[in-house]
Structure formats: structure tokens, C-alpha cells
Amino acid sequence: MLILPVVIFAQTSSNKNISLPQLGKNSLKDIVSAMTLEEKAKLVVGMGFRMPAAPPANNRRDSTTRRDTSRTAAPRFQADPDADKIPEKVPGAAGRTHAIPRLGIPSITVSDGPAGVRISPIRNGDSSKTYYATAFPVATLLASSWDTALVRKVGVAFGHEIHEYGVDIILGPALNIHRNPLGGRNFEYYSEDPLIAGSMTAAIVNGIQSNGVGTSIKHYAANNQETNRNSINTIISERALREIYLKGFEIAVKKSHPWTVMSSYNKINGTYTSERPDLITTILRNEWGFKGLVMTDWFGGHDPVAQMKAGNDLLMPGTPNQTKAIIEAVNKGDLDIKQLDLNVERILNIILLSPEFKKYKYSGKPDLVKDAQVSRMAAAEGMILLKNDNSALPLKNVKKIALFGNTSYDIIAGGTGSGEVNKAYTVSLLQGLKNGGFETDQALQDNYEQYLRAEKAKRPRPRFFMLPPPISELAIATDQLANEADKTDIAIITIGRNAGEGADRKLDNDFYLSSQEKELIKNVADAYHAKNKKLIVVLNIGGVIETASWRDGVDGILLAWQPGLEAGNAITDILSGKVNPSGKLATTFPMDYKDDPTAKNFPGKELVKDTATSPRPAFGGRPAEVIYEEGVYVGYRYYNTFKVKPAYPFGYGLSYTNFSYGKLSLSSPQFNGKLKATLTVTNSGKTAGKEVVELYVGAPGIKLDKPAEELKAFAKTRLLQPGQSQTLNFVIDAADLASFDTNSSSWVAEAGKYTVKAGTSSENIKQTVTFHLAKEIVTEKDSKQVAPQVDISELKSDKTAFIYELNNFGITTK
């Protein structure tokens, strides 16, 4: 049954159209010349909007999961009649292209999203056969592993599921920069640092694509917020764009050759990204050598003809109006047919690679048991031990645990929106601890379960992208707490946060803990400390929260992120010591929100004066702009340069063991095009563990303003037994030293003294060594592209910076 569409296509193409050129048998040139204008204009426009979020063309509801009905497309998005006529190959996939059977061109299927295959798990109400997928840990957790080999392994398992479920291209990974802690989709993204974001993307793309399926790295580019996401004009300097927001895409394109790139919803410097030839053709294709196809984000951009001209080959999910506009533009001479042919050819090139074209007989039965183990293993590798006073962890002499916090019983595997995976189960922390052989307090469990059931029953049905309001923490009386502290050996509180596409996070009760959460932490800490027992907090969150105001009251903090479907088991692996934590922050935790360099420019300002008479459309948003005044000073680049102390710095994470660092040596004290840095790490503690070594470089910064240091390489050791050592090698080349000089549109490595710093975090540098670059090197000459139309008062690391800092206190944080 699964291969039915393939059979139909094969018959149609081989019997009836024997004399016509056929894709794969004849040259692309022959295929393109045999296509009618209408066929071309249909191929570059997807087949309608049966995305998991949206109802089908006739507005029928397809309610296979809660989220499926919660993302509803706005009426202005008209459906393609083909979408209703032609049965979906993979129900719940996000979109597909038009087939042209007479030329042997099949329809290919694309599906969300970054943390696992997002498809309908139940088809036609028949639950005797299910199509659940593995929810892998969210991208922020994967990045926190600092382990590209591990991330590649996740990609291999993920790609296998994509292949076996009949999908051709997965709509991920997503690698936008964590510009601001409140970014609603930060969980889908890797890091505040482009080297991490690009390296992780390349690793997972290589893993996924090794299965013969494609990826779509997204959202290109500078899609760093959800507020007014379809209308926001991001005003940004060429240098910040290239060094921070494009760099990760460049690394990914060069190191992993993703089949496709997805352009973003936002505008950059006045124009939608999908309509910018400079971004999509000049930079992506000409400068970086990207060979695949570019698709829009769902209903992204505005002008289909401008999108074709920009090199945005495929408009997704596609509407008949777009096809019509393209046909008209060619007929009127507004769109050169040669341009359209090029867009068509790029799509055909990808179709040629697809499993659908190769008639792959997918099983619909990936090995979910095996993949769950990969998910669990990866989850534990990316969790970060933030605090561990007096070796509170791993749990020792602990038999019975008091488990507090709603989320302990209702764990969050991953975020919402298109990034959510329809998984068969999620292991709660309660279950994980039990599986790990721990006893938990039954009375507490009963209280929580009853409370959660009652509160959930009261919640309104979620609409559009909106998350239901969080359930406030159950208040527990002091005498009950005292009783729990008597009965149990240790207390664990889980704090949970969720977010997703369509909205950014809030400060109150989200970035900041709610008063009930703070009270719970304080009361449990008092009760347990009074009996000389400990309290551990587990953070089951997808983005950064405030920790400085409450962390002193607790003994240990484990940042578990959103760890995928094996959540509770993976957290227990760390709590029990079965796995020694080795994750490190790939994004900074500030002391307070107002410390963040982007706080005064997030999420920008709406340009509509009278918002009362201008209701916010469901899709689209109001005209708005955001100015990236912080320039390249995002995350640790800012905190380190301007000496603003964060709560937990970039690169930070504790272990159950200790490591000592040998001398950092360089292949030469003079830079001659390339340098090798070498360092030996020894496990000097008592437990086997892995260490991440982070290599930062500080540049002269005379001609070009430079951050105090920037991450240029990183490596993770293998599991080192106590006393064991490993020597790590890092390569620094000229491009690593270069910055984008806007005046000359070139990448320049300045002459002078550079410092290489090997650290266990960006703050805790263990070894430094210097080298000299005798003469400036221009590593690449580009041209002026995507330039802002207005002056940006950009942050620089000279004294103007401190004025900026003083101005940076406009946010009421309470």
C-alpha cells in the first residue's frame, strides 16, 4: 500500500509517454525544453498547504495530534486543488512538489523538523499500525555536547527514520543564532556562536544525508525572533551579518553540502530574504558554492517573481496564485524564461537524488527501539551540570527520593510548533528514576498526579501557535515538607519551560521563575537543609532562564534542556552517575535579562501607530523593525569584552571528575598560513569522564574592532579513566583570524600579536600562548552585499561602549 503512488507513476510514465524525454534517462536540458510554461510554473510552486499545522484545502480538520489542529493557516492562503485530489504519500508531512508524470518527474515529500520526523502518527483513525518517530534531544542540547561525532550519529539514526517513513527531505536542521534569551525557537537552534552552530549543523547534515535523504538548513538568515516574524525588518551591519548570522550557514554549506536551504520569513535591511539575489545567489551560491535548491519558509516572502529572480527556486507550501503570477510574468516579459529554467533545473537536480525518484521501497518501520537508545545516549552527553556543592551529585546513599515540581511528572521532551515530534511516549523523570532503581515518594506522586489532571482539565484548548498557560506549581504545606524530608534521602525539583514557533518567550514567569517556583525552591531547601539533606534542581528548559537569584539556596543544578523522548532515563543516567556529565553551555546564562547586549533591541518596534485599530494578523504580523545595534557583540563576545559577569559563562559545565591541562604549544611562534596547537588533557580525578577543550583566539584589534576572544576550535576527549591522558590537536588557519572589513568588503587578518587561549569555559582559561602575524593577510575578497540603508549606531569595544552599557537599562524586570 505504501508504494502505491510509485506504481501509478511508473505505469503512467513508461507506457503512455514512451517518446517523451524522461527524467534520469535524458539530459536535464531535454527535460526542461519538453516542459510547458505551466508545468515549469507548477514545479517551482509546492502542491499546497497540507502541512501538519494546517487544515486541508476544503478546511476539513485532520486531528491526529493536539498540535495538528492548533496551527491553522490563515484564509488568505488559498489551497492548490491538486493537494486535495492527490492522496498524500506521507500524511502529516509539511509539503510536497507537483509531479509531472509524462516526463517521469515524481512528487517529492518534505517534512519537519529539526528534532525528529514530524508526521501524523495515526492514519485514517487506524491505530493498529502507527507512525511515531523518535524525538531526539533539541538542538540546544546537542550543541551542548560539543561533540560533532555524536551529533553525526544522531543524524544517521534520524536520517534512517526519514528514509523509512518515505520522506525525501527533512526541514532542518535549524541554525539561527541565539541572539536573545527570549527567542521562542531558540531550542531548535544550536548556539550563540556561529562556529558551534555551523559545526553542529554540518555534523547532523552529514549524518542524515548519509542515508540518501536530504536536509533543508534553515532559516536563512537572521531569523532570531518570533514576534512579527513575517514582517520584521532586521537592520544589521554587513559585518555582523557575515561574521555572526551567516557564518554558521557558510560552514554548514562548505562542510556538508545540504541538498536544500530554507530562506527565512524576515526581511534583512528592507527586503524579504527570499527576494534578495545578493543573499541567495551572490553569497550562498557564488561565494560559498552552494549547489542545491533554495525553498521559502511556509508562505514566506511576498513576490513570487522576485523570489524566482533571487534564486529562491521553490515556493512552499505553494499556492495556485503564485503559479499564476509566474506564468503572467514570463508572458509579459517580466521574468526571463532562462531564469525560470534555472530554478526548474535546480529542483530537478534534487529530485534526481531523492528516494522517491529512486523508487525506494520504504518500510514504514524504522527501528525505533534502537533510535531511542541513540536519543538517550545523546541526551546525557549534552546535559550540563551547573552546580554541584559538596558533591551533591551523583546520588550516593540515596534510596528514596522526594520528587517535586509539576515537570517531574510531566516532562518536556522538546518544544512546540513545527519543531515538535509526534513520539509514542516520553519517559518522565518519575519513571526514569524508578527505571534506575530509585524509590520515590508515593504520597507526593499522588498529590502531583491528581493536581495535574485537575489543572489540565481546566485549560482552554490551544489556538493557533499559542501554548496553553503553564500550570502553576503546587503549593506544599510546611508540615508536609518536613514529613517528606524525614521520609526521603534527598529532594529533586524539576523546573520546566516550553516555547515554540509563533511567539517569543516572556520575562515574567518564564525567563524569571514564578513566585510559586521560587517559594517551592526555598521551602523545600529549608525543610531538607534543616535535616542535613540536599536539594537538586533539574532544569527541563529549551532556553535560557534567570538563575542568579535562587541558585545559592540549592545544592546542585542539572541543566537537562529538553532531552527528547527518553528524557527521564537520560536525566537519571546523569543523576545516578551512570554517565559523567560532560556538556558545556553553548549559550550564555546572564545574571539578569537587562545585562544582555540585545535586551534594548528585542523584539524591535512596531511601526504601526494605532495598534488598537490594527489587529495583529494570525500570519504576517504588523510592520516592525529591529536594529542589531550590538553588532558582532552577541553572547560571550559581549560579556567577555565588556567584562559583564554572567551567571554561567559560555562554555561552562562541571564534571564528576577533574581535568588538568598540559602546556599549550604551537607549531610555530610565527603565523605562516596555518598553525597547529597541541595540548594534553589528563583526568586528574577519581571518576572516568570526558572533557571539552575550547580554543579561543584574541586578535590585535587595532584596525578592526575585535571581541576580547572568539572561539576558533574545540574538541572533546574520549572517555578518560582516572589518570588517563589524551593529546588534542587543533588547526588555526588564516581565515580563522580574519574579520570582515566593511570598507574593503574583504576578510582581513591583521598583523600583530595573537593570543591562543585553551579553556574549560570562556571564562576559565587554563593555558595561553601567543604568536605573531608579520603582515596583514586578505583571506577573501568579496563585494558589498545586503548593506543596510540606514546608519546603525553599532556597539564598538571602545569607550562609546560604556555609554551604550549605561543606556542599556530600559527594561523593567521586576
- For the annotated catalytic residues, the residue numbers are 297
For ligand BGC, give the closer residue by CB, 52 or 311. 52
The smaller minimum CB distance to ligand BGC, of residues 171 and 253, is found at 171
DSSP labels for 509-520? IIISPPHHHHHH
C-alpha to C-alpha distance for 537 and 196, rounded to whole angstroms: 27
Cβ atoms of 291 and 261 closer than 8 Å: no
**Smallest separation, CB 763 to ligand BGC (Å):** 34
Alpha helix positions (H), 210-290:
238-240, 247-256, 277
Q: How far is the CB of 295 from ligand BGC (least distance, A)?
A: 9
Distance CA 415, CA 676 (A): 40
94 binds ligand BGC (CB under 6 A): yes
Are the C-beta atoms of 666 and 712 separated by less than 8 Å? no
Closest approach, Cβ 636 to ligand BGC, in A, equals: 27
Could you give the CA distance from residue 363 to residue 457 in angstroms, rounded to a whole number?
A: 38
Nearest residue (CB) to ligand BGC, 132 versus 298: 298
Determine if 650 is a binding residue for ligand BGC (CB under 6 A). Answer: no
Could you tell me the smallest distance in angstroms from the CB atom of residue 319 to ligand BGC? Answer: 15
DSSP string, 68-111: HHHS---TTSPPPHHHHHSPPSSTT-SEEPPPBGGGTB---EEE
Among 41, 43, 51, 433, the residue binding ligand BGC under the rule CB under 6 A is 51
Query: 711 CB contacts (<8 Å, ≥6 apart)?
Result: 193, 195, 196, 636, 650, 651, 694, 695, 696, 762
- Which residue of 218, 267, 376, 505 would you call a contact of ligand BGC, by CB under 6 A? 218
- 51 versus 241: smaller Cβ distance to ligand BGC: 51
* From candidates 171, 537, 579, 715, binder to ligand BGC by CB under 6 A: 171
Cis before residue 590, ω within 30 degrees of 0? Answer: no
What is the rounded distance in angstroms from the CA atom of residue 425 to the CA atom of residue 462? Answer: 21
The identity of residue 210, as a single letter, is: S
Q: Smaller CB distance to ligand BGC: residue 501 or 691? A: 501
Output 94 or 384, the one with its CB closest to ligand BGC.
94
219/172 Cα distance (integer angstroms): 9
764 CB burial (10 A radius; 0-12, 13-18, 19+): exposed
Between 73 and 558, whose beta carbon lies closer to ligand BGC? 73
Q: Which is nearer to ligand BGC, 263 or 282 (CB)?
A: 263
Least separation in angstroms between residue 113's CB and ligand BGC is 6
Phi, psi of 639 (to 5 degrees): -55, -40
Interface with ligand BGC: number of residues (CB under 6 A): 10
To ligand BGC, the closest distance from the beta carbon of 298 in angstroms equals 4
Burial class (CB in 10 A: 0-12, 13-18, 19+), 447: middle
Cell of 86: 492527490
Contact flag: residue 418 with ligand BGC (CB under 6 A): yes
Q: How many residues does the chain have?
A: 814
Cα–Cα dist 175/217, whole Å: 7
Nearer to ligand BGC, 50 or 766 (CB): 50
Q: State residue 14 phi and psi, 5-degree precision.
A: -85, -30
Minimum distance from residue 266 beta carbon to ligand BGC (Å): 11
Please enumerate in sequence order all residues whose Cβ is within 8 A of that of 602, keeping only pairs 6 or more positions apart, or say none: 179, 180, 182, 225, 504, 596, 626
Which residues in 738-777 contact ligand BGC (CB under 6 A)? none
Q: How far is the CB of 501 from ligand BGC (least distance, A)?
A: 6
Asked if 50 touches ligand BGC (CB under 6 A), the answer is: no
Which amino acid, 14? S
DSSP state of 112: B
Among the listed residues 501, 629, 709, 794, the single contact to ligand BGC using CB under 6 A: 501
Binding ligand BGC (rule: CB under 6 A), the pick from 297, 313, 517, 573 is 297
Between residues 215 and 271, which has the closer beta carbon with respect to ligand BGC? 215
Q: Does 298 bind ligand BGC (CB under 6 A)?
A: yes
Measured between alpha carbons, how far is 711 from 692 in angstroms, rounded to an integer? 13
d(Cα 495, Cα 544) in Å, to the nearest integer? 12
Q: Give 212's contacts (C-beta < 8 A, 6+ positions apart).
A: 163, 353, 355, 358, 360
Is residue 655 a contact residue for ligand BGC (CB under 6 A)?
no
**Shortest approach of ligand BGC to residue 436 CB, angstroms?**
35
Rounded (10°) CA dihedral 776, 777, 782, 785: -40
Q: Which three cell numbers stand for residue 175?
A: 541554525
Residue that has been written with the C-alpha cell 551523583 in this structure:
394
In the block, cell 515530534 appears at 421
Contact with ligand BGC (CB under 6 A) among 68, 80, 88, 112: 112
Helix (H) or strand (E) holding 732: strand 725-733
Q: How far is the CB of 297 from ligand BGC (least distance, A)?
A: 5
Q: Which is nearer to ligand BGC, 218 or 706 (CB)?
A: 218
Q: Minimum distance between the CB of residue 165 and ligand BGC, rounded to whole angstroms?
A: 16
Q: How far is the CB of 778 from ligand BGC (least distance, A)?
A: 37
Residue 371 engages ligand BGC in binding (rule: CB under 6 A): no
Residue 593 DSSP SS3: helix
**DSSP symbols for 325-380:** HHHHHHHHTSS-HHHHHHHHHHHHHHHHHSTTTTT----S---HHHHHHHHHHHHH
Comparison of 232 and 329: residue with beta carbon closer to ligand BGC = 232
Site for ligand BGC, rule CB under 6 A: 51, 94, 112-113, 171, 218, 297-298, 418, 501
